């Protein structure tokens, strides 16, 4: 079987009228391909016979070219394996795409032509494998029914007659998953919806992007919590919107402040996380929800309700979403299946009016033609046989126990330098350290013990806060104890 290789017939030009010998032209062309990065160290060149065939040359000409490159140090001949680009190349100055750090691109004539999404920060230490990862609040992938999803995926992939039907579902996502979700959300959240009101996305973040993209334009205004989900804030600003920060306390976002903003001028959008606000984990009180719904209807205020971990509530039954009440179509509801199963399983959904979802699916189509429909069908199967519901019940019971155990260990490890409240739900504990304590230094000390913990900088996005989210749901008791011991050693 022929081995895939570069199209050397178009990369190497031979001028038979030139005074330069043809073998040297081939050698010079290969050197240029090495210098400009098209041929990397270790790359195996085609056998001389194959290269001669591609270039319509005599084999002896190619052999002479290869021998010339070996003499100059560009090629290494390895036994019976063939000719390889040398690992240690002769001294040369490689070209770079890194215009931001290359001195020759600093002139005004070479302005950056692309949008600067974020400020580059130097990497202070080399990333390495860790024995323990302390995340932002993810589920435990080890308990997810992944095997059932894989088995169903294999079953569907062998039924070739279903592929065309599944592809016909288009950018809205699998009709089976949309149907199952409409039924599930009706039973668990009292959402009165049909499958045509459901859009499946690669994770909740894409759902936020699509919903916001349908509403915002440069100059728009978005009301958000003063300490908010950072990636949502960045997304809104990337779309050209201005953020209006509103205080978030123990009862959730300040609804009176939202009303005062609307009295002056109705903003383009309100982004809210009513259950387990990110990062602080607080829940919007029932009283504030009632008033907020009145504001939404009165001022016709579009809302993105991000309910990413509604299912994980431990103290009592969760309050129903804003989207479950009468809102005249202004509330767009977003949820995550990733938070139910595993962070690497990227599935989210957007709920809205039938026409909004149809339009949103067209916007999503230019970003992501369609998801993995077989995978979506496989997840739908979990809902249809009741396994997803059983997994949720097991997870909630397990994560509640882990929350209690983790908070006890956290209090004994950090009680005198940090404070936190035991969360009523979610998968993380929001912890505020004493102002003078350095979370980045703690992160560095833990790293030397094989434990990864972010340095808290992500929560400082335009906000002065010395806090961090400790994810507990993905840690078993042994891992929690190891982390607690490491915290005591690293304080």
* 232-252 core/surface letters (b: 16 or more CB in 10 A; e: else): bbebbbebebebbbbebeeeb
Instruction: Determine contact, residues 237/243, Cβ cutoff 8 Å.
Output: yes
Confidence grade of residue 164 (pLDDT, cut at 50, 70, 90): low
3-class DSSP assignment, residue 471: strand
**105-114, 152-161, 242-251: range with lowest mean pLDDT:** 105-114
Per-residue pLDDT, 125: 52
pLDDT digit string (tens) for 377-426?
Answer: 999 999 999 999 999 999 999 999 999 999 999 999 998 999 999 999 99
**74-78, 255-259, 261-265: range with lowest mean pLDDT:** 74-78
End-to-end CA distance of the chain: 60
Per-residue pLDDT, 4: 66
What integer is the mean pLDDT of 110-124? Answer: 63
Per-residue pLDDT, 483: 96
Q: Tokens in use for 93?
A: 């100055």
Per-residue pLDDT, 102: 43
Per-residue pLDDT, 165: 66
Report how far Cα 234 is from the mean position of its chain's Cα atoms: 13
- As a whole number, the mean pLDDT across the chain is 89
**Other CB atoms within 10 A of residue 224 CB:** 24
pLDDT: is 107 or 314 the higher one? Answer: 314
The answer to whether residue 122 scores a pLDDT higher than 60 is no
pLDDT digit string (tens) for 306-361?
Answer: 999 899 999 877 789 999 999 999 999 999 999 999 988 899 999 999 999 999 99
The rounded percent of the chain whose pLDDT value lies above 70 is: 90
**Other CB atoms within 10 A of residue 329 CB:** 13
User: pTM of the entire structure?
Assistant: 0.78
pLDDT digit string (tens) for 44-65?
Answer: 999 999 999 999 999 999 999 9
Per-residue pLDDT, 458: 87
Per-residue pLDDT, 171: 83
Domains in the chain, ordered, with CATH? 8-85 (1.10.10.10), 132-141+391-490 (3.90.1150.10), 160-389 (3.40.640.10)
The answer to whether residue 107 scores a pLDDT higher than 60 is no
Burial class for 43, CB neighbours closer than 10 Å (0-12, 13-18, 19+): middle
The answer to whether residue 95 scores a pLDDT higher than 90 is no
What integer is the mean pLDDT of 26-44? Answer: 90
Distance CA 98, CA 112 (A): 11
What integer is the mean pLDDT of 159-176? Answer: 75
Q: Which range has the top average pLDDT, 35-39, 123-127, 235-239?
A: 235-239
Distance CA 204, CA 215 (A): 17
Burial class for 255, CB neighbours closer than 10 Å (0-12, 13-18, 19+): buried
**HSE-up of residue 424 (Cα within 13 Å, Cβ side):** 17
What are the helix and strand counts (H, E) for the chain? 16, 16
Per-residue pLDDT, 316: 74
Per-residue pLDDT, 128: 58
Per-residue pLDDT, 294: 96
pLDDT: is 370 or 291 the higher one? Answer: 291
What integer is the mean pLDDT of 418-439? Answer: 95
Residue 253, phi then psi, degrees to nearest 5: -70, 145
Distance CA 108, CA 140 (A): 50
**5-19, 80-94, 131-145: range with lowest mean pLDDT:** 80-94
Cite the beta strand spans of 363-475 per DSSP E.
Answer: 418-420, 428-433, 451-453, 467-471
Instruction: Determine contact, residues 379/146, Cβ cutoff 8 Å.
Output: no
What integer is the mean pLDDT of 18-38? Answer: 90
């Amino acid at each position: 079987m022929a081995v895939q290789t570069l199209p050397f017939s178009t990369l190497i030009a031979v001028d038979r009228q030139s005074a330069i010998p043809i073998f040297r032209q081939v050698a010079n062309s290969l050197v240029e391909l090495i210098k400009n990065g098209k041929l990397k160290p270790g790359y195996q060149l085609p056998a001389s016979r194959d290269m001669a065939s591609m270039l319509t040359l005599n084999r002896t000409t190619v052999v002479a070219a290869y021998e010339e490159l070996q003499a100059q140090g560009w090629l290494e001949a390895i036994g019976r394996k063939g000719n390889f680009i040398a690992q240690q190349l002769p001294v040369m100055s490689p070209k770079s795409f890194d215009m931001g750090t290359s001195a020759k691109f600093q002139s005004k004539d070479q302005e950056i032509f692309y949008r600067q999404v974020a400020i580059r920060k130097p990497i202070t230490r080399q990333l390495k494998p860790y024995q323990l990862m302390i995340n932002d609040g993810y589920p435990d992938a080890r308990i997810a029914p992944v095997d059932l999803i894989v088995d169903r995926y294999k079953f569907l992939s062998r039924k070739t007659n279903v592929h065309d039907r599944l592809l016909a579902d288009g950018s809205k996502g699998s009709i089976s998953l949309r149907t199952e979700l409409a039924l599930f959300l009706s039973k668990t959240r009292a959402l009165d919806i049909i499958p045509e009101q459901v859009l499946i996305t690669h994770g909740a973040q894409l759902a936020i992007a699509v919903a916001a993209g349908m509403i915002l334009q440069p100059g728009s205004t978005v009301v958000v919590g003063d300490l908010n989900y950072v990636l949502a804030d960045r997304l809104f600003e990337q779309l050209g919107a201005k953020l209006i920060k509103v205080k978030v306390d123990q009862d959730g976002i300040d609804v009176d402040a939202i009303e005062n903003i609307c009295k002056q001028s109705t903003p383009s959008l309100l982004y809210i996380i009513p259950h387990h606000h990110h990062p602080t984990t607080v829940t919007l009180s029932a009283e504030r929800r009632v008033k907020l719904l009145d504001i939404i209807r009165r001022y016709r205020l579009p809302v993105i309700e991000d309910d990413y971990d509604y299912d994980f509530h431990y103290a009592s039954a969760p309050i129903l979403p804003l989207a479950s009440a009468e809102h005249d179509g202004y509330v767009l509801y977003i949820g995550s299946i990733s938070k139910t199963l595993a962070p690497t399983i990227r599935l989210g959904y957007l709920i809205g009016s039938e026409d909004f979802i149809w339009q949103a699916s067209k916007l999503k189509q230019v970003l992501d033609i369609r998801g993995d429909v077989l995978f979506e069908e496989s997840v739908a199967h979990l809902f249809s046989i009741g396994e997803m519901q059983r997994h949720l019940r097991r997870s909630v019971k397990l994560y509640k126990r882990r929350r209690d155990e983790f908070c006890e260990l956290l209090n004994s490890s950090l009680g005198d330098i940090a404070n936190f409240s035991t969360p009523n739900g979610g998968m993380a504990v929001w912890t505020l350290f004493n102002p003078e304590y350095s979370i980045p230094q703690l992160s560095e000390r833990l790293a030397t013990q094989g434990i990864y913990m972010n340095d808290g900088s992500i929560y400082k996005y335009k906000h002065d806060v010395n806090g961090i989210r400790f994810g507990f749901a993905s840690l078993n008791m042994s891992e929690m104890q190891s982390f607690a011991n490491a915290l005591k050693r690293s304080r």
